[in-house]
Amino acid sequence: MAPHDQHDRPLSELVRELSESQAPTITLGELIESLGASALAGLLLVFGLACTLPLPPGSTTVFGLPLVLLAPQLLLDSPGPWLPRRLRERPIATAALRRPFARMIPWLQRMEAVSRPRLGFVVDGPGRRLMGLICTLCALVLILPIPLGNMLPAATVSVFSLAMIQRDGVIAMAGYAFAAASIGALVLAANLIGAMLRTGLSALSLT
């Protein structure tokens, strides 16, 4: 498949092909090649959406680690994703990816249906770098074992990634709303944990 053909096709179609692949394994390098010109934002969207799904404990850490490597590259205006050679060539069992990829497809199709190129200045240049900074911070949150703390940061990464793929400034603005909600939720969680710790320490001091 030619690279320009891949670029012109919706990401949901490419993910469907990957979910239906009969190959026993796939490497991250092959995944990058299959995503074509939108590989960097495409990988961020795929791994971001994976972190929003109800998967077994620890899954967000597994899917969050690639985000920690990929998101900062938006700050450098990287034309394509860079990963260490060892990571690019590491095989991943396709059986482990089929279920999360299949569950992503309806969400991708819904998002693609409501997005289109508009307000391009919001997703270009400084706007792209700002989104990259926020995605990097969200990725760092995703690898932490915070109960129920992954949904909003993962949604933020997913929405920003879609905005970059579709060059949709309106979707990018929605991403900023998710980012603000993520900050609020994390501050609330930190306050609750702090209050619980203080209560526990007080109870211990009274015994």
Mean predicted lDDT score pLDDT of the chain = 81
Residue range 107-126: mean pLDDT, rounded: 86
pLDDT at 156 over 50: yes
Q: Tell me: the pLDDT tens digits for 49-107? A: 888 877 666 677 777 888 888 899 988 877 678 878 887 888 888 887 787 788 888 88
pLDDT at 144 over 90: no
The more confident residue out of 54 and 185 is: 185
- Which ranges constitute the DSSP H helices of 36-125? 39-52, 59-70, 85-88, 94-114
pLDDT-derived band at 136 (thresholds 50, 70, 90) equals very high
pLDDT at 176: 95
pLDDT at 55: 67
Burial 184-197 (b: 16+ CB within 10 A, else e): ebbeeeeeeeeeee
- Please state whether the predicted TM-score (pTM) of the whole model is above 0.85: no
| % pLDDT > 90, the chain | 15
Residue range 27-51: mean pLDDT, rounded: 82
Q: For residue 159, give both structure tokens.
A: 């929405």
Residues, the chain, total? Answer: 207
Is the CB of residue 42 less than 8 Å from the CB of residue 166?
no
pLDDT at 36 over 50: yes
Burial 62-92 (b: 16+ CB within 10 A, else e): ebbebbebbbebbeeeeeebebeeeebeeee
Residue 7 to residue 41: CA distance in whole angstroms: 12
End-to-end CA distance of the chain: give it in Å, rounded: 70
Q: For residue 10, give both structure tokens.
A: 């919706």
Count other C-beta atoms under 10 Å from residue 203's C-beta: 9
Q: For residue 189, give both structure tokens.
A: 């969680």
pLDDT at 2: 40
Q: For residue 132, give both structure tokens.
A: 């990259």
Count other C-beta atoms under 10 Å from residue 141's C-beta: 19
Contacts of 76 (CB under 8 A, 6+ apart): none
